[in-house]
Amino acid sequence: MDQAKTASAVNLASWLPLRALSGWSVKDLNGDLAAGITLAAIAIPEQMATARLGGFAPEIGFFTFIAGSVAFALLGANRQLSAGADSTITPLFAGGLALIATSGSPHYLALAAMLALMVGLLVALSGIFRLGWIADLLSVPVTTGFLAGISVHIIVSQLPSLLGLPPESGETVRRVGEIAANLYLTNPWCLAIGLGVFAIVFAAGQVSARIPAALIGMILATLGVIAFDLKNRGVEVLGALPNRLPAPGMPTADFHDAQALVPLALLIAIVVMVQTAATSRSFPPRDGEAPDVNRDFVGVGAGSIVAGLFGAFAVNASPPRTAIVAQTGGRSQLSGLIAAAIVLVLSVFGGSLLANVPQAALAGVLMFVAQHILRWQVFTKVWRQAKVEFALILITMIAIVVLPIETGVAIGIGLSLLHGIWGSTRTEPIELVQVPGTSVWWPPSSSSAGEQQPGVLVAAFQAPLSFVNADRFKRGLSDLIDASEGVKLVVLEASNIVEIDYTAAQALIDTIRHCRDKGAVFAIARMESLRAQAALQRFGIAEIVGTERIFHSVDAAIKSLGPGKPQQQTQDGVP
């Protein structure tokens, strides 16, 4: 009883707030302070630009960052992860919401807040119910294609501001055509500002990611607007931001709006979980513990909930900002709280400081973000090593660019799952040979010859047995049995069979009967998976085979049941 109480207490403690600050000491203050100031310097222009990307006022990006940082510090586990507005998911919900409401309208803002609540609940509940495996639904090629498509959306959406052209709306392909038709109207001042900020951020990134290059570029661009009176030369600026904090409250969207947002919320929640898990695993705890991805889901999900209650939009984990915290010496989530406090002060007192920030400067920041999320190295490696998976990259990217963005993401997720299933469906039973002078049975290869035991067929199936490959397993193994002349013993080497479902169990039973019809004994060896062993009992396969014909090794099966040997249980039999 005492042990049970202790275990419960430990489990409860793992969910207490401020876990990401546990173990903090005064000696960590300098590192957290430096990381917090650097994080704020990088987050201020980034959050403004991301808010603008989604059709929101810049201060909404500040509120999103504050909500994500505070909520994650209270409920997350990772000591360095930074949560806030993120350019990966912003085009997703901006494109989806634009189909329902006019961008920037009160209805649009209410829908965004409702969507943030829904995404936050889905992500947080996934963490509470330990559904971290959902983060593995997207393969690397599909994720790469997804990010490439998002990059194209960002570039197309920012080209009008970069070139000083009228804003465009509608489908991406149509917007590209309209931008191309209006190129002659390009404002050279806007273009110079945008490219200048891009160049500053890009060049600083080659030196050190810790340089707040986006902030430096934004300040220089603002000073240029003032010094050369660029507002009268057609350069659009932000204007003074209101010095205020939003009042908390439930979004005003109705039930029908919430219903319409469900598919979009599910897609965004999956993307948030994928990126949060990747970030958490990339920056594990310093004490050697495994990252607590589920707890981090709760922290990021809570950030979206708080953001929604304050009229902001969904938050996501940021790999670049998290890397900044790690590189600048951040030891705990105190760094995120310090950054949030700086952004809060700016939101309440510094709105007028941002009045002359040119829109083209924020476009330059987002252009850098767009090229940064293009994983050119992954493109190259996948092209060289896996042509089929490179096709997944292209299909996903094209779908996200050409189709409505949420449809493209759904196609990407579907392709990722289908590709995983396809690998299992292509698995064939193979005949193993014995490595000379050993008891090891291995797939045959041209580099080394193997040995076969007379009258013995050793076959393996290198995948879980399920409905997607059950028929292929049955036909393939039956063909091997039929092709083996004088076979008296068939051993299924089952080390890779980690699961057996109902359909596959029936196929295995049919195969065992086919083997016996051919006058051979059927045995199973090296079934190491506990789930597969339980399936043998549950579906009655162990009784059909006989527990005395289930072994720890192929060698033991052959010694006990090979041609001319008495068929009785030995010490190697698995009960």
pLDDT mean over 100-127: 94
CB 280 within 8 A of CB 80: no
| pLDDT tens track for 364-400 | 999 998 888 888 889 999 999 988 899 999 999 999 9
Cβ neighbours of 170 (radius 10 Å): 9
The pLDDT of residue 203 is above 90: yes
Q: What is the predicted pLDDT for the residue at 1?
A: 42
The better pLDDT of the pair 290, 463 is held by 463
Element housing 106 (H / E): helix 106-128
**DSSP code of 27?**
G
Residue 12 makes CB contacts below 8 A (sequence gap 6+) with: none
Q: Which of 34-43, 78-87, 252-261, 273-282 has the lowest mean pLDDT?
A: 252-261
The tokens for 305 are 């909930």
The pLDDT of residue 24 is above 70: no
Spatial distance between the Cα atoms of 322 and 79, rounded to a whole number of angstroms: 10
Cβ neighbours of 551 (radius 10 Å): 24
Spatial distance between the Cα atoms of 32 and 29, rounded to a whole number of angstroms: 5
| pLDDT tens track for 333-365 | 999 999 999 999 999 998 889 999 999 999 999
Spatial distance between the Cα atoms of 536 and 541, rounded to a whole number of angstroms: 5
pLDDT mean over 13-17: 52
The residue length of the chain stands at 575
Q: How confident is the model at residue 12 (pLDDT cuts 50, 70, 90)?
A: very low
| pLDDT tens track for 398-413 | 999 998 888 888 888 8
| pLDDT tens track for 204-238 | 988 887 788 999 999 999 999 999 999 999 999 99
| pLDDT tens track for 307-341 | 999 999 999 999 989 988 988 888 889 999 999 99
Rounded to two decimals, what is the model's pTM?
0.80
Cβ neighbours of 449 (radius 10 Å): 10
Q: What is the largest CA-CA distance in the chain?
A: 99
CB 456 within 8 A of CB 489: yes
Which residue shows structure tokens 């600048």?
A: 328
Q: What is the predicted pLDDT for the residue at 19?
A: 61
Mean pLDDT of the chain, nearest integer: 88
Torsion angle of the four alpha carbons 130, 134, 140, 141, in this order, in degrees rounded to the nearest 10: 180
Spatial distance between the Cα atoms of 531 and 509, rounded to a whole number of angstroms: 18
Q: Which of 122-131, 223-232, 277-286, 426-435 has the lowest mean pLDDT?
A: 277-286
DSSP helix, strand, coil percent of the chain (3-state; round to 5): 65, 5, 30
Torsion angle of the four alpha carbons 336, 52, 396, 266, in this order, in degrees rounded to the nearest 10: 60
SS3 sequence of 455-505: CEEEEECCCCECCCCHHHHHHHHHHHHHHCCCCCEEEEECCCCCCECHHHH
Burial class (CB in 10 A: 0-12, 13-18, 19+), 6: exposed
CB 370 within 8 A of CB 155: yes
pLDDT mean over 267-283: 91
Spatial distance between the Cα atoms of 381 and 375, rounded to a whole number of angstroms: 10
Q: What is the predicted pLDDT for the residue at 18?
A: 63
